[in-house]
């Protein structure tokens, strides 16, 4: 019997798949043939851990197979250089940064541990990935026999995932990812700066130590500016926009004197 390995990332699309399961839209997934696997880098955003607990704990209590792999608890799932080190611990120890180029962090902390878990089962497995219908270009293995994209097959995009989650009684989800991921967008960096100062300081430390070690090389999370400088520019721009909006509102509220 084939086993389904449902890769849980803790974001909107992963939650959409769990919602489909709870709503009976994926009858091929059963408690006997499915595993929900969370590859924890040790550097996920705090709300991802909270959301994961709120979604997967009830699934486990209901009899679904839920598995978390992480470097400290399950080191054997990781290659030798990464065992017993979370992503942030490894980066600080080796003075390296997550890369947009070769994505070594995704490979070592997400793909390989799940691959090892699949191999350990010693059965035919199908990897289930939460890529939505609005991101088909990301489905690199769409036609591979051992990979399944249920959201694409059912034409479900990000907005539909949110709707399904609400229908299934699941909590509101947000975009998941590591707190120092170079693929983060402006809103995520600003949220990190404003709401998770301890993690933001770790990202600053990592960037500074990498730049100090590799002098002359552009080790930046965002474009060609140090992270704090980029944050300062964004905040300054926000303040300027707010002032402009306030001024525009004031103008709109004024009446022409001859209207009296």
Tens-digit pLDDT profile for residues 214-225: 775 667 888 778
Domain end among 116, 138, 167:
167
Residue 79 has pLDDT above 50, yes or no: yes
Summarised one tens digit per residue, pLDDT across range 108-134 is 999 999 999 999 998 999 999 999 999
CB contact at 8 A, 203 and 221: yes
Asked if residue 25 is part of any domain, the answer here is yes
Q: Are residues 108 and 7 in the same domain?
A: yes
The CA distances from residue 21 to 13, 167, 200, 253, in Å, are 13, 12, 36, 52
Task: Specify the pLDDT at position 19.
Answer: 98
CATH of the domain at 161: 3.40.50.620
Asked if residue 194 is part of any domain, the answer here is yes
Which pair of structure tokens corresponds to residue 125?
A: 């497995």
Asked if residue 160 is part of any domain, the answer here is yes
- Mean local confidence (pLDDT), 214-241: 84
Q: Are residues 17 and 126 in the same domain?
A: yes
Residue 251 has pLDDT above 60, yes or no: no
Asked if residue 21 is part of any domain, the answer here is yes
What range does the domain containing 217 cover?
186-253
């Amino acid at each position: 019997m084939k086993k389904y390995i449902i890769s849980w990332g803790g974001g909107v699309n992963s939650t959409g798949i769990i919602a489909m399961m709870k709503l009976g839209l994926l009858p091929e997934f059963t408690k006997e043939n499915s595993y929900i696997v969370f590859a924890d880098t040790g550097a996920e955003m705090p709300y991802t851990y909270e959301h994961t607990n709120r979604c997967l704990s009830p699934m486990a209590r209901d009899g679904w197979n839920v598995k978390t792999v992480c470097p400290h608890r399950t080191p054997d799932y990781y290659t030798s250089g990464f065992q017993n080190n979370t992503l942030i611990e490894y980066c600080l120890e080796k003075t390296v940064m997550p890369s947009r180029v070769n994505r070594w962090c995704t490979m070592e902390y997400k793909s390989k541990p799940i691959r090892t878990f699949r191999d350990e089962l010693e059965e035919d497995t199908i990897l289930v990935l939460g890529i939505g219908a609005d991101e088909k270009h990301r489905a690199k293995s769409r036609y591979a026999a051992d990979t399944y994209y249920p959201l694409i097959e059912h034409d479900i995009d990000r907005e539909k995932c949110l709707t399904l989650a609400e229908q299934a009684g699941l909590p509101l989800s947000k975009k998941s990812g590591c707190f120092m991921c170079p693929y983060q967008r402006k809103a995520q960096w600003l949220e990190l700066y404003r709401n998770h100062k301890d993690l933001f300081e770790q990202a600053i430390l990592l960037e500074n130590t990498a730049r100090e070690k590799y002098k002359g090389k552009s080790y930046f999370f965002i474009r060609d500016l140090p992270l704090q400088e980029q944050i300062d520019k964004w905040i300054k721009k926000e303040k300027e926009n707010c002032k402009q909006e306030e001024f525009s509102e004031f103008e709109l509220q004024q009446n022409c004197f001859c209207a009296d």
